[in-house]
Amino acid sequence: MVPLLVGVLHFGQHEAHATSLAAIFLIAVAAFAGYLSAGEVDPLVGVFLGVGGVAGSVIGAQVMHRMSPNTLRGVFAVAMIAAGLGMVF
């Protein structure tokens, strides 16, 4: 979503990342509701993952705000390449 927001819709790098995260949050809430209603959620594991995710998000947002748009773009590119390679291998 970030490349689309930056390249096509001309969002700034920081705004694109923030907007993408807002969309992911809404998607995750909808998916959680579906899995919860099907009895597929382990509440204890969910709480631990949620606490870790919130802490990581707060730290990540603080780090992101300190980066220039070009640095953020580079870090994002490396992360996407690493994720892609991880899926292939």
Decide: 11 and 5 in contact? Cβ < 8 Å. Answer: yes
Decide: 19 and 8 in contact? Cβ < 8 Å. Answer: no
Q: Give the mean pLDDT of 14-28.
A: 92
Predicted confidence (pLDDT) per residue in 24-63, tens digit: 999 999 999 999 999 999 989 989 999 999 999 999 989 9
Statement: residue 1 has pLDDT above 90? no
Question: What domain count does the chain have?
Answer: 1
Long-range contacts (CB closer than 8 Å, 24 or more residues apart) made by 42-51: none
Which range marks the domain in which residue 38 is found? 2-88
Decide: 69 and 13 in contact? Cβ < 8 Å. Answer: yes
